Structure 1
Amino acid sequence: MATPLLAGKVVLVTGASTGIGRAAAIGAALHGADVAINYHSDDAGAASCVAEIKAFGRLAVAIKGDVADPATATDFITRACDALGKVDVFVNNAGICPFHAFLDMPAETLERTMRVNLHGAYYMVQAAANRMVAQGNGGSIIAVSSISALVGGEYQTHYTPTKAGVHSLMQSAAIALGRHGIRCNSVLPGTILTEINKDDLADEGKRTRMAARVPLGRLGAPEDLAGPIVFLASDLARYVTGAALLVDGGAFVNLQ
């Protein structure tokens, strides 16, 4: 039997009580990793994610914290490594998208989105990278960007710049951290049915229209991101850094 792709590795995931983060955490455990998750407020969701990971016979810990606070980054990395011994893979997933029109965008909505999605990513990636450098064994950092890094959205003028920023952060971090053997890549999901957009996609007609634009004929599920993230986390991707992997069912190439 083949060795699991992430055997012996410790994976840390932010925003993992639900959605893509949860799927990535459980997917990592399925492939042999011990996992620490960060989450903001959903205690029950975090507990059930930990339970699923432990059901695979892996170690798991959930650590609560708001990624918008820079102190949360060092707290999460420190406590996760204290619990699990190290960090081999860091997945920056935490994000919000409170849909709002552009012309009357409240300053606090813009600022909060920036603090969570972009500033939070920066501090978390920095903290994880510092621990990886100190460990001296390299590592893999994966950021969940979005197809929104490449295309606009009428009610996402505050959100799309953060996802472009996360993608750009991975490109620059790949250069800064390559000498330490740390690979930095991003995944760019298309429309994935998660808590972030469940209200926006509550209308069945809109969901049908959105799915019709996807060559594979359906909207994405969080589990569709688990495989690509596990791949980038694993040694199968040992020469992949600074890359961006679209996981969108072909939506981007079909926009014309």
Structure 2
Amino acid sequence: MLLANKTVIVTGASRGIGRAVALECARQGARVIIGHSGSAQGRTAAFSLMEEISGFGSHGIEVGSDAADPDTGARLVTAALDAFGGVDVFVNNAGICPFHSFLDMPRETYLRTVDTNLNGAYFAVQAAANQMKKQGSGGAIIAVSSISALVGGGMQTHYTPTKAGLHSLMQSCAIALGPYGIRCNTVLPGTIATDINQEDLADEEKRAYMIRRTTLGRLGAPEDIAGPVVFLASDMARYVTGAALLVDGGMFVNLQ
């Protein structure tokens, strides 16, 4: 029960990595605020997740609000305060990756990606940090970035800068928020099989190549990210801040 009696906000929690993180936080004793897009599909998935969380003897509430909206973070924090009295952990996970070539990148695709993955995240982290400072007992902020923060992608020229930006944001926030006992760290997943890349990985040749690149010989699953996030959120990582943890099955180091 590494997160017993802690309140955790997870953005993009209705599916994929966010859902796995929310479930593992609940399994470890946390109360969870489930951030999702606010769509009918997102709401249905969030209520299903709430039922699973209750099965662990924990509590979850859902908040539907677009991750690209600068006010979403404040809504999540307010919900946490109303339901559980505070915020101990904030996990910024929400993100999109609509694959597209660079030379004909639609302006709206670029702007939507940056607003969702980075701009909205900035203000959400700010809202959580202000509440943690007000509480006076520290806290933990974890950004789910990507191996794409460290390497390029020809069809991801709009996406990789946002993930590098999240990593940089956590480094700077570690300095800005350290005096208040707030730790800020980044998790950098490799290729995780979720619906965000389902179409891309439907190409069997590319899927096989990505598996070969991964030294552990398989693609990642959302649950592979949940454990590292819980560690960084817990008191076991009480002296860890400004760090970046690759969770990629060895893909980054494999040059063969």
**TM surpasses 0.5:** yes
What is the match of residue 13 of structure 1?
10
Alignment of 1:114-133 (within 5 A): 114-133=114-133
Please state how far the C-alpha of 1:43 moved relative to its aligned partner.
Answer: 1.6
* CA distance in structure 1 between the aligned counterparts of 2:201 and 2:255, rounded to whole angstroms: 19
In 2, are the aligned partners of 1:10 and 1:88 still within 8 Å (CA)? yes
What is the match of residue 66 of structure 1?
66
* CA distance in structure 1 between the aligned counterparts of 2:255 and 2:134, rounded to whole angstroms: 44
Please state how far the C-alpha of 1:205 moved relative to its aligned partner.
Answer: 2.7
In 1, are the aligned partners of 2:35 and 2:65 still within 8 Å (CA)? yes
* CA distance in structure 2 between the aligned counterparts of 1:75 and 1:130, rounded to whole angstroms: 13
Q: Give me the CA root mean square deviation.
A: 0.8
* CA distance in structure 2 between the aligned counterparts of 1:36 and 1:75, rounded to whole angstroms: 11
What is the match of residue 22 of structure 1?
19
In 2, are the aligned partners of 1:16 and 1:25 still within 8 Å (CA)? yes
SS in 1 for 2:162: helix
What is the match of residue 102 of structure 2?
102
Which ranges of structure 1 fall in alignment gaps of 5 or more residues? none
Alignment of 1:147-186 (within 5 A): 147-186=147-186
* CA distance in structure 1 between the aligned counterparts of 2:84 and 2:204, rounded to whole angstroms: 43
Please state how far the C-alpha of 1:67 moved relative to its aligned partner.
Answer: 1.5
What is the match of residue 33 of structure 2?
36
Provide, for residues 109-140 of structure 1, a one-character-per-residue CA deviation record: whole Å limited to 9, x for no partner.
00000000000110110000000000000000
Moved more, 95-104 or 72-81: 72-81
SS in 1 for 2:34: strand
Letter in 2 for 1:44: T
* CA distance in structure 1 between the aligned counterparts of 2:255 and 2:168, rounded to whole angstroms: 22
Provide, for residues 45-90 of structure 1, a one-character-per-residue CA deviation record: whole Å limited to 9, x for no partner.
1111111111101011010000211111111111122112211000
* CA distance in structure 2 between the aligned counterparts of 1:83 and 1:222, rounded to whole angstroms: 27
What is the match of residue 252 of structure 1?
252
Aligned length: 253
What is the match of residue 190 of structure 1?
190
In 2, are the aligned partners of 1:74 and 1:124 still within 8 Å (CA)? yes
In 2, are the aligned partners of 1:5 and 1:235 still within 8 Å (CA)? yes
* CA distance in structure 2 between the aligned counterparts of 1:166 and 1:72, rounded to whole angstroms: 17
* CA distance in structure 2 between the aligned counterparts of 1:46 and 1:207, rounded to whole angstroms: 29
* CA distance in structure 1 between the aligned counterparts of 2:25 and 2:73, rounded to whole angstroms: 21
What is the match of residue 52 of structure 1?
52
In 1, are the aligned partners of 2:71 and 2:124 still within 8 Å (CA)? no
* CA distance in structure 1 between the aligned counterparts of 2:67 and 2:96, rounded to whole angstroms: 11
In 2, are the aligned partners of 1:144 and 1:189 still within 8 Å (CA)? yes
User: Residue 44 and residue 255 in structure 1: after superposition, are their counterparts in 2 closer, same or farther (change >3 A)?
Assistant: farther
- Runs of 4+ off more than 3 Å: none
In 2, are the aligned partners of 1:102 and 1:154 still within 8 Å (CA)? yes
- Percent identity reads 68
Please state how far the C-alpha of 1:255 moved relative to its aligned partner.
Answer: 3.0
* CA distance in structure 2 between the aligned counterparts of 1:33 and 1:226, rounded to whole angstroms: 13
* CA distance in structure 2 between the aligned counterparts of 1:168 and 1:131, rounded to whole angstroms: 22
